[in-house]
Amino acid sequence: AQSVTQLGSHVSVSEGALVLLRCNYSSSVPPYLFWYVQYPNQGLQLLLKYTTGATLVKGINGFEAEFKKSETSFHLTKPSAHMSDAAEYFCAVTRSNDYKLSFGAGTTVTVRA
């Protein structure tokens, strides 16, 4: 079974500051890892994913994440926060022969002007 832990249910950053959202996973097999974003009253939108290959993954809206097997982590970063980044972010995991996503509890990001 796979599971995901997101550290911090709420993160507040200043506009222009670094955004860092932490995600740790547990999986008995090589994982596939995802970050989704949910804006108010909208569905989840895929930001980026790691399946195989390069461990630094770039996504939309300037976000990137690095898969670190030794740390079982897949932290999401963005160098400079924008007001439009205020949303809820979910880390998710699955494996190559599965289609079900297991989600973390989510991290709500607020951006201060």
Taking the least distance from each CB to other proteins, the nearer of 34 and 81 is 34
77 contacts 85 by C-beta, under 8 angstroms: no
Q: 39: which residues sit within 8 A by CB, 6+ positions away?
A: 45, 87
Q: Where are the beta strands (DSSP E) in 30-103?
A: 31-38, 44-50, 56-58, 64-68, 73-78, 87-95, 102-103
Region near other proteins per CB under 8 A, out of 19-27, 59-67, 68-76, 94-102: 94-102
What pairs with residue 31 in β-bridges? 95
User: Residues 73 to 92: which contact other proteins by CB under 8 A?
Assistant: 90
CA neighbours closer than 13 Å in the CB half-sphere of residue 71: 10
Taking the least distance from each CB to other proteins, the nearer of 6 and 81 is 6
Among 1, 28, 52, 70, binds other proteins (CB under 8 A): 52
Could you tell me the smallest distance in angstroms from the CB atom of residue 113 to other proteins? Answer: 28
Among 74, 94, 109, 111, binds other proteins (CB under 8 A): 94
Among 7, 17, 86, 101, binds other proteins (CB under 8 A): 101
